[in-house]
Amino acid sequence: MRVLGAILVIASSTIAGWIYSLLLKKRLKILSNLIQCFQWLETEVGYATFPLAEAFSRIGGRIQEETKLLFSGFTDELKELQGLTADEAWQRSLAKCQEHLSLHHEDWALLENFGRTLGNTDQQHQLGAIRQTLEKLKQQEMEAAQNREKNERLYRYLGIAAGALLVLIFY
């Protein structure tokens, strides 16, 4: 019975370490998808000159990942609630996506700040805000890649080691 308990403790802590390391990988993937979406948004607003709602709708139709919720959600919020500003629709969309997207506080703050510029300025200033957000997302992606490279194996081994330590302490 003790052996079974020890195996369960080690297995559960190992799984916890793997899950945490997978969150690092998932964040990197989401940031990469967001960068791609913002590049498309830059094209849609700057060169195709689509209005924001249509540009977001077109982007939401192109992507299949979790980030689709953010862009499609923004379009849905604008369509459902007439009289809602673009910023309010973006903030609502962000709130709905927070449990689905594995992002850090800094990432959410960046996206919230971008939303504050939506629909408040002309096309050139909007493009500037998109480009600024895009550059910051690229920086976040670089930091996330470095963090993943540095810590992914650490979290996996730490899970195993923590389980083994708990078994040694309690047995």
Reported residue count of the chain is 171
Q: Are 110 and 136 in contact (CB under 8 A)?
A: yes
Tell me the mean pLDDT in the region 72-93.
84
pLDDT number for residue 104: 92
- Please give the model's pTM, rounded to 2 decimal places: 0.85
Residue 48 has pLDDT above 80, yes or no: no
Model confidence at 111, pLDDT cuts 50, 70, 90, reads very high
Residues 6+ apart with CB under 8 A from 153: 21
Q: Of the candidates 16, 47, 34, which has an alpha carbon nearest to the alpha carbon of residue 104?
A: 34
Q: With a cut of 80, say whether residue 49 has pLDDT above it.
A: no
Q: State the sign of the Cα–Cα–Cα–Cα dihedral 70, 72, 45, 145.
A: positive
Q: Which of 4-18, 51-65, 89-103 has the lowest mean pLDDT?
A: 51-65
pLDDT at 65: 76
pLDDT at 33: 93
Residue written as tokens 């800094």?
A: 106
Q: Label residue 39 by pLDDT band (50, 70, 90).
A: very high
